[in-house]
Chain A
Amino acid sequence: MEFRIAKDELIRALSRVQGIVEKRSTNPIIANVLLEAGSDGMKVSATDTEVSLVGHYTIECIQPGRLTLGARQLYEIARLVPTDTVSFRLPEGSFLMEISSGKAQFKVLGLAADDYPPIAEGGDGEGLQIEAADLKALVDKTLFSISGDDTRTGLNGAHVEVTELAGGRTHLRYVSTDGHRLSLAGRKFSGNWTADRSVLLPKKGLAELRKLVDVGDGPWSLLLSDTQAVFSRGSTSFSMRLLEGDFPDYKQVVPGGWQRRILVQRAHVSQALKRVSILASEKSHPVRFHISDGTLIITAKQPETGEAREELEAQVEGQDLEIGFNARYFLDALNVMDTDSIAIEIGDSLSPCLVRPGEGEADELFVVMPMRLE
């Protein structure tokens, strides 16, 4: 294995993977990056076994080869070498990489590339394609309601599927629930999705993916392997392990109809909830919605501390009702919505409440379970 690489290119390759490699693992190879030099460039991979990042970089390849080297140490070397070009050379059958730059020379002991954990990689344009802004929206609108309990099989990730909408269009849908609330968002895509395939994506992987997706970017590709989901754009691939288990049949949780419907400004509800919940208990943030003709009144009351009340103008259909909610759950949903107005659809005081955009055609909804209040 022998190649030359520009110092800047090497720094770029290594700085991107520093956040991925895991230094405290009992598995020593996880602290390393995998370097694979070929005539078409160099692939640099890093993984903590849960998420992986693969990038392609320009090199002058003299002899192809692969080896893993300590990510942190290599990054330090790259930043401090004295010349603009760095040479790498690995003698046949050796694990000692010779790195030289001007008069500075290093010999760094690596670990066998074959022992690196398997990383799935997708090509740009393979699988299905989705606009960056849409991918960002899908993650933002569902990440917060994934259960934080790893033992809750099926609820510990976002369920991803392709759904056919009325009118024959298909959407890529993300759905998540922690048992107290549910979020659903769908967006258009092009390309292929394995028919009948749904997967469960981990919270950690989605949070990492979110950092990589910029709205202004071109489209991302999504490809599935048996064990991983690979998101790629340009020369970068980000993959995450799939979760075990099946997501519950969420369509059973989403109410099919309503008896009361409230159309109200999203910002008004959001601000009122923040103010009123100052006087709600900090444990479950219980607030009460009083629904009557033309108004929505939100109250909170704690015998030890006092009470708060705020009245909002609203368009109300259906009969008067009082219903309790965890203000936090309501606010989380309102925070990720985009429209000025929202529609709140309620059956009775114990049935799941649906929140959806008050205008437009967006494929999204949020379900919040009511709280029984004394």
Chain B
Amino acid sequence: MSTDEPTSLFGRWGDIKGHERVVAALRRAIAAGRPHHAYLLLGPRGLGKTTIARAAVSALLCELGQSEPCGRCSACSKLTQSMHTGVLQVEPGGKANTITVDQIGEVQRQLAYRRLEGEWRVVLIHDAGLMNDSAQNKLLKTLEEPPDGTVIILTAVHPGQLLQTVRSRCQKLGLGVVPVDAVERWLVETKGAGPTMARVAAAGSRGIPGTALTLLDPEMGEERRERLTLLTRALAGDAGSIGEAVSLVDRDKLGCAEMLVLVQELLRDAIARSVGVEASLVHPDVSLAGPLATLPGRALADYALRIEDVQEKLTRNVHPGGLMEGLLLEISGA
């Protein structure tokens, strides 16, 4: 199993696109051996939260402690194969796509033990915003009295998904969007994209590297295009399209959250068009109709803000289909 070249790594700083300030802060704290006991990585899906979290895990556990994880030591080898006892990962699952109190309980049971190997132990909670309230309250105990040598990393799309008590006990690292031209260069240089595809995907990514990658994938790009078309019709008041959009996200919180982002993007484009700033459009090729084409910028901005409320409601066990229907009817009826 010992080759000279590291084959694949659990994570490395070099995999991260953009976010220089956040990464520098994390790297400094880890290199100094003084990471915060809990981090909350915040930002839209596809921005690189998981990539950053995984790089931090590798950096904490690599036995050589160089600027990049080495990929060759015993810890790096175990990490790559999911065999390191120093990493506990939690992600949402089940029909409800939530993180349950039992999952957090199991983490706490493991954390009660002394570390078996390595200087640090890392708990990685993916999509922490999908913890239900009782899971969050249970996690609170660990955040209040974190065991020595333990770092807890949470990723979430929206801070409102987490209880104030949970948020306040984490160091918050908000990820901003990456400049579109940087995404374009990254697609060409490291992802092997052709220049034309890279430009289209980068422009459509709104500065979110993960979205750009999705757009490069023809099938995913197609699905996104279909959803955009459906939404523009729904927002223009087409009852059949509203019904179809609602049934797409019914009982699917994740799908609903993704569609809300699309609605938000369309609203932003409508605002940009209403004030004549066409250069910064997210979807320059989508033509808008109905209220999105006629409402004044101020009214559109109010709706854009409303989406944040809806995103927060989505985390409070509200029926996703109902939420989406209410929003689409409200905007299209304006």
- Listed in ascending order, the chain A residues whose CB lies under 8 Å from chain B are 26-29, 49-50, 95, 111-112, 114-115, 117-118, 150-151, 153, 156, 202, 226-228, 241-245
Of B28-36, B139-147, B265-273, the one contacting chain A is B139-147
- Since A241-B113, A243-B112 are in contact, a sample of 7 more A-B pairs with Cβ atoms closer than 8 Å, ordered by chain A residue number, is A95-B1, A115-B83, A117-B116, A150-B112, A242-B113, A244-B111, A244-B112
Residue from the list A111, A118, A156 in contact with B112, Cβ < 8 A: A156
**Shortest distance in angstroms between A119's beta carbon and chain B's nearest beta carbon?**
9
The answer to whether A49 touches B114 (Cβ under 8 A) is no
The answer to whether A241 touches B145 (Cβ under 8 A) is no
B109 adjacent to chain A (CB < 8 Å): yes
The answer to whether A227 touches B116 (Cβ under 8 A) is yes
**Shortest distance in angstroms between A175's beta carbon and chain B's nearest beta carbon?**
18
**A49 nearest in chain B by CB position:** B85
Contact of A28 with B112 at beta-carbon distance under 8 Å, contacts A118-B117, A150-B105 already known: no
- When distances are taken between beta carbons in the complex, the residues of chain B under 8 Å from A245 are 112
Contact of A242 with B114 at beta-carbon distance under 8 Å, contacts A114-B74, A117-B85 already known: yes
Q: Can you name 30 A-B pairs with beta carbons within 8 Å?
A: A27-B82, A28-B81, A49-B116, A50-B113, A95-B1, A111-B83, A114-B1, A115-B1, A115-B78, A115-B81, A117-B83, A117-B85, A117-B116, A150-B112, A151-B138, A151-B141, A153-B112, A153-B145, A153-B147, A156-B112, A202-B112, A202-B113, A226-B114, A227-B115, A227-B116, A241-B116, A244-B113, A244-B114, A244-B148, A245-B112
How long is the Cα–Cα vector from A55 to B77 in the complex, in angstroms? 27
The answer to whether A227 touches B114 (Cβ under 8 A) is yes
**Shortest distance in angstroms between B79's beta carbon and chain A's nearest beta carbon?**
10
- The 8 A CB mask of B63-85 against A (1 = contact, 0 = none) is 00000000000100110011101
**Shortest distance in angstroms between B150's beta carbon and chain A's nearest beta carbon?**
9
- When distances are taken between beta carbons in the complex, the residues of chain B under 8 Å from A26 are 82, 89
The answer to whether A118 touches B116 (Cβ under 8 A) is yes
**A30 nearest in chain B by CB position:** B83
The answer to whether A241 touches B83 (Cβ under 8 A) is no
The answer to whether A112 touches B113 (Cβ under 8 A) is no
**Shortest distance in angstroms between A206's beta carbon and chain B's nearest beta carbon?**
14
How long is the Cα–Cα vector from A242 to B114 in the complex, in angstroms? 6
**B88 nearest in chain A by CB position:** A26
How long is the Cα–Cα vector from A111 to B77 in the complex, in angstroms? 12
The answer to whether A112 touches B1 (Cβ under 8 A) is yes
How long is the Cα–Cα vector from A150 to B110 in the complex, in angstroms? 9
- B78, B109, B114, B117, most chain A CB atoms within 10 A: B114
- When distances are taken between beta carbons in the complex, the residues of chain B under 8 Å from A118 are 116-117
- When distances are taken between beta carbons in the complex, the residues of chain A under 8 Å from B142 are 151
- When distances are taken between beta carbons in the complex, the residues of chain A under 8 Å from B108 are 150-151
**Shortest distance in angstroms between A126's beta carbon and chain B's nearest beta carbon?**
21
**B105 nearest in chain A by CB position:** A150
- When distances are taken between beta carbons in the complex, the residues of chain B under 8 Å from A117 are 83, 85, 116-117
Residue from the list B82, B85, B147 in contact with A244, Cβ < 8 A: B147
- The 8 A CB mask of B123-146 against A (1 = contact, 0 = none) is 000000000000000100110010
**Shortest distance in angstroms between B58's beta carbon and chain A's nearest beta carbon?**
16
**B111 nearest in chain A by CB position:** A244
Residue from the list B78, B109, B115 in contact with A150, Cβ < 8 A: B109
Contact of A115 with B77 at beta-carbon distance under 8 Å, contacts A26-B82, A27-B82 already known: yes
**A113 nearest in chain B by CB position:** B1
**A156 nearest in chain B by CB position:** B112
**A227 nearest in chain B by CB position:** B114
The answer to whether A114 touches B114 (Cβ under 8 A) is no
How long is the Cα–Cα vector from A28 to B83 in the complex, in angstroms? 7
The answer to whether A114 touches B77 (Cβ under 8 A) is yes
How long is the Cα–Cα vector from A244 to B82 in the complex, in angstroms? 24
- When distances are taken between beta carbons in the complex, the residues of chain A under 8 Å from B141 are 151
- When distances are taken between beta carbons in the complex, the residues of chain B under 8 Å from A114 are 1, 74, 77
**Shortest distance in angstroms between A239's beta carbon and chain B's nearest beta carbon?**
11
- When distances are taken between beta carbons in the complex, the residues of chain A under 8 Å from B117 are 117-118
**Shortest distance in angstroms between B255's beta carbon and chain A's nearest beta carbon?**
25
- B1, B74, B148, most chain A CB atoms within 10 A: B1
How long is the Cα–Cα vector from A26 to B82 in the complex, in angstroms? 7
- When distances are taken between beta carbons in the complex, the residues of chain B under 8 Å from A153 are 112, 145, 147
**A114 nearest in chain B by CB position:** B74
- When distances are taken between beta carbons in the complex, the residues of chain A under 8 Å from B109 are 150
**Shortest distance in angstroms between A365's beta carbon and chain B's nearest beta carbon?**
26
Interface positions, chain B 143-175, Cβ under 8 Å from A, are 145, 147-148
- When distances are taken between beta carbons in the complex, the residues of chain B under 8 Å from A112 are 1, 77
**Shortest distance in angstroms between B191's beta carbon and chain A's nearest beta carbon?**
28
**Shortest distance in angstroms between B312's beta carbon and chain A's nearest beta carbon?**
28
- B89, B117, B138, most chain A CB atoms within 10 A: B117
**Shortest distance in angstroms between B126's beta carbon and chain A's nearest beta carbon?**
13
- When distances are taken between beta carbons in the complex, the residues of chain B under 8 Å from A227 are 114-116
How long is the Cα–Cα vector from A95 to B105 in the complex, in angstroms? 36
- B74, B109, B113, most chain A CB atoms within 10 A: B113
**Shortest distance in angstroms between B181's beta carbon and chain A's nearest beta carbon?**
39
- When distances are taken between beta carbons in the complex, the residues of chain B under 8 Å from A50 are 113
**A226 nearest in chain B by CB position:** B114
Closest 9 CB pairs of A and B: A241-B113, A150-B109, A112-B1, A29-B83, A227-B114, A242-B114, A115-B83, A150-B112, A151-B141
- When distances are taken between beta carbons in the complex, the residues of chain A under 8 Å from B74 are 114-115
**B148 nearest in chain A by CB position:** A244
**B80 nearest in chain A by CB position:** A115
- A150, A153, A202, A242, most chain B CB atoms within 10 A: A150
How long is the Cα–Cα vector from A52 to B77 in the complex, in angstroms? 22
How long is the Cα–Cα vector from A95 to B115 in the complex, in angstroms? 29
- When distances are taken between beta carbons in the complex, the residues of chain A under 8 Å from B115 are 227
- When distances are taken between beta carbons in the complex, the residues of chain A under 8 Å from B82 are 26-28
**B112 nearest in chain A by CB position:** A150
